[in-house]
A = this chain, B = another copy of it.
Amino acid sequence: MDTGDTAWVLTSAALVLLMTPGLALFYGGMVRSKSVLNMMMMSFSSLALIGVIWVLYGYSLSFGNDLGGGLLGDPTDFWGLKGLMSPDALVFTVPSLAFVAFQSVFAIITVALISGAIADRARFGPWLLFSWIWATIVYFPVCHWVFDFNGSTGTDFVGGWIANNLKAIDFAGGTAVHINAGAAGLALALVLGKRKGFGKEAMRPHNLTLVMIGAGLLWFGWFGFNAGSALGANTLAAVTWMNTLSATAAAALGWLLLEKIRDGKPTSLGAASGIVAGLVAITPSCSSVSPIGALIIGFLAGIFCALAVGLKYKFGYDDSLDVVGVHLIGGIWGTLSVGLLATASAPAAVDGLFYGGGVDQLWRQAVGAGAVLAFSFIVTLVIGFAIEKSIGFRISEEEEVEGIDGVEHAESAYDFTGSGGGSGFASGHLAAATAPTQEGVNA
């Protein structure tokens, strides 16, 4: 065990945890004020629910010894994380539970990412059910495919097919996280259908300062996501850190430039979106390209995603907060970019097409991306329709008009009147306190 590596992995795990509240803000600021709490709750509930099932069986499905074909980990290996508190339990140079921790927050945020596609209209209970099923039959397997390396905990340990057989390079999750969530988002947007007023009415962001805070926290946390995936504090971590900065900065520039040219003005939502697009694109590729390669990947990610967010109007699916435009498109581009811009001088030591490596790596990347995309899209469609047809997934049109925060959570996000306390304009009054104490209130 190396204390420096462990310090970095534990820090990174905390950084990645923060990304989910960051995402909640990023998404929450983009919806209307009557839906911000529900939007944030879809992320926060992922922290709660996926956190629990990860401990119970998720880690074991993802990182247990392979059951065969590189398709799934053995759920009995680490059920309830058993045996992992021992000082001897290591993954590479860090305690096993540090690795468990780091991977837990990946599972959490992947589920949360999907929710952006179905803003304002998904019932909360069915969303929880969906999250549970999706994590279990989509994320945990895909995580095993992509992130579970042969030999990680001992020489005879066998992992997943994309990492070990296909040998696609997906350093921190272009496929497992972003294509996966993006494809699922598209499927759910199709299942749930358009919001009332989509394409006609103003559904502009209600609070762009939240979006900016969210983008800032996401970027911050993403250093843990990418550089933490080095699982140690070393040159690899430093390279991925710096590539993460380079690509993200360039992507923000790219998005702003496109806006300036196309729409006349560069916007703050564009800057925030460009940041996320760059982060997505560099996620799979940060270990295999140079900082200059990262600049190119990022800049083009900004352009591509800024163009892609318009697709929903063209094709008429209501991917409310552009999970497809940013995560699916950005994830595909980032995954493929490894095949194009990888350079043998980077830690992954592979040459892509433009560095004379031919198409060998490129096809591996394409197969990995395509497999995850197809698997996630199809299975999500099935889960989504099953829920919609059985218990119903979507709130009614009237409830949509009223606002999902009140309907699903009996809350409203803001009250800026100077209310109550014998002062101000009381927008309401206390009707009853928690059941057992009803008397107290009237006392």
Q: Which of the 9-residue segments A49-57, A177-185, A357-365, A382-390 touches chain B?
A: A49-57
Q: Is the pair A200, B429 in contact by a Cβ cutoff of 8 Å?
A: yes
Contact of A197 among B346, B347, B420 (CB under 8 A): B420
Closest 6 CB pairs of A and B: A3-B4, A21-B216, A51-B249, A310-B434, A401-B423, A48-B252
Q: Is the pair A124, B45 in contact by a Cβ cutoff of 8 Å?
A: no
Closest B residue to A428 using CB positions: B202
Please judge, given known A-B contacts A434-B310, A436-B307, whether A416 and B418 are in contact too, CB under 8 Å. Answer: no
Rounded to whole angstroms, the CA-CA distance of A224 and B294 in the bound complex is 25
Please judge, given known A-B contacts A2-B4, A220-B18, A290-B85, whether A439 and B44 are in contact too, CB under 8 Å. Answer: no
Which A254-273 residues sit within 8 Å CB-CB of chain B?
256, 262-269, 271-272
- Please, which residues of chain B bring their CB within 8 A of the CB of A14? 15, 220, 223-224, 241
Number of A interface residues, CB 8 Å? 163
Rounded to whole angstroms, the CA-CA distance of A402 and B422 in the bound complex is 9
Q: Is the pair B238, A433 in contact by a Cβ cutoff of 8 Å?
A: no
Please judge, given known A-B contacts A233-B4, A316-B443, A429-B201, whether A271 and B33 are in contact too, CB under 8 Å. Answer: no
Q: Is the pair A202, B429 in contact by a Cβ cutoff of 8 Å?
A: yes
- Nearest chain B CB to A184 CB, angstrom units: 21
Q: Is the pair B428, A232 in contact by a Cβ cutoff of 8 Å?
A: no
- Please, which residues of chain B bring their CB within 8 A of the CB of A408? 265
Q: Is the pair A421, B80 in contact by a Cβ cutoff of 8 Å?
A: no
Q: Which of the 9-residue segments A67-75, A91-99, A147-155, A160-168 touches chain B?
A: A91-99
The answer to the question of A234 belonging to the interface, with a C-beta cut-off of 8 Å to chain B, is: yes
Q: Is the pair B224, A263 in contact by a Cβ cutoff of 8 Å?
A: no
- Please, which residues of chain B bring their CB within 8 A of the CB of A195? 421
- Please, which residues of chain B bring their CB within 8 A of the CB of A213? 21, 25, 213
- Please, which residues of chain B bring their CB within 8 A of the CB of A235? 1, 85-87, 89, 95, 97
Contact of A201 among B36, B309, B430 (CB under 8 A): B430
Closest B residue to A251 using CB positions: B48
Rounded to whole angstroms, the CA-CA distance of A202 and B422 in the bound complex is 10
Which A273-303 residues sit within 8 Å CB-CB of chain B?
274-275, 290-292, 294-295
The answer to the question of A242 belonging to the interface, with a C-beta cut-off of 8 Å to chain B, is: yes
Q: Is the pair B201, A422 in contact by a Cβ cutoff of 8 Å?
A: yes
The answer to the question of A101 belonging to the interface, with a C-beta cut-off of 8 Å to chain B, is: yes
The answer to the question of A136 belonging to the interface, with a C-beta cut-off of 8 Å to chain B, is: no
The answer to the question of A328 belonging to the interface, with a C-beta cut-off of 8 Å to chain B, is: no
Q: Is the pair A262, B435 in contact by a Cβ cutoff of 8 Å?
A: yes
Interface of A is mostly: helix
Copies per assembly: 3
- Please, which residues of chain B bring their CB within 8 A of the CB of A415? 32-33, 204-207
Closest B residue to A15 using CB positions: B14
Other A-B contacts than A3-B234, A201-B421, A206-B419, 15 sampled, CB-CB below 8 A, are A2-B3, A3-B5, A4-B7, A11-B11, A13-B241, A21-B216, A28-B212, A34-B424, A44-B272, A48-B253, A81-B242, A95-B238, A104-B242, A316-B443, A400-B421
Q: Is the pair A55, B206 in contact by a Cβ cutoff of 8 Å?
A: no
Which A398-416 residues sit within 8 Å CB-CB of chain B?
400-403, 408-416
Contact of A234 among B1, B44, B104, B347 (CB under 8 A): B1
The answer to the question of A174 belonging to the interface, with a C-beta cut-off of 8 Å to chain B, is: no
The answer to the question of A239 belonging to the interface, with a C-beta cut-off of 8 Å to chain B, is: yes
The answer to the question of A76 belonging to the interface, with a C-beta cut-off of 8 Å to chain B, is: no
Q: Is the pair A120, B11 in contact by a Cβ cutoff of 8 Å?
A: no
Which one of A10, A295, A346, A436 has the greatest number of beta carbons of chain B within 10 Å?
Answer: A10
Closest B residue to A254 using CB positions: B48
- Nearest chain B CB to A303 CB, angstrom units: 13
